Structure 1
Amino acid sequence: MSSISISTAAVIPARPATRSRLRLTARGRGVLLAVAAVPLAIGIAVAAISGGSAIAASDDTAGSFGTADFQTVTVLPGDTLWSIANTVAPTADPRDVIGEISRLNMLRGGALQIGQELAIPAQYAD
């Protein structure tokens, strides 16, 4: 025969798992801030240096070659790049004219706003 014995063992509560928390001193926060700020400072310096040379190059280029005169067109309600291209250059392919107008005015996606001034490339100006 087998026998079963029942005992009353005391239940010991398990200790909660302790997480180690990162504790930064004032010096540690300063070092972390400096490490994070260095790439930002380098990016700003590079942008300032490259932007300054682009401005200087465009000023120098305009001085040596003269300024180009462009005709401007004001966008009216209902105007599209296609209708402006057909009006400005009726004999040219509108797709080519639209491409050149977009590049000259740095348009993205062909979105126009009423009252916007568009520069027309020199070969299509009257």
Structure 2
Amino acid sequence: MSTAILSAGPSAPRIAAPRTRLRLTARGRRVLAALAAAPVVAGLAAAIIGGGTALASREDGAGAEAFDIVTVSAGDTLWSIAQEVAPGHDPRDVIYELKNLNNLAGGMLTPGQQISVPAAFGH
């Protein structure tokens, strides 16, 4: 804290000037709040506007895979299809991939049904 000393000369008594407080009006408080909130609002707007474009901008096709289609014959099971399409892989892993890819909850197959097989397994 500093106080200002006023003097009229070397022998005059010193009088301390009163210190004034900064007062904000209602309008000043609104302006100050708006200035403080502006960077937050701008950041949120940029995140909302630009957030979805990062997911939709796959120009190289990173998520696209090639698939083969296998038609289920009478008596086929997921195990037999897994052994047929991927003889060098563990059938349990292949069945897991087939169930996830084709959304097969119970693993039941019907003749004539078409099953998508990742091309990574080959034929």
Q: TM-score, with normalisation over the residues of structure 2? A: 0.49
Greater strand share, 1 or 2? Answer: 2
Greater helix share, 1 or 2? Answer: 1
Q: TM-score, with normalisation over the residues of structure 1? A: 0.48
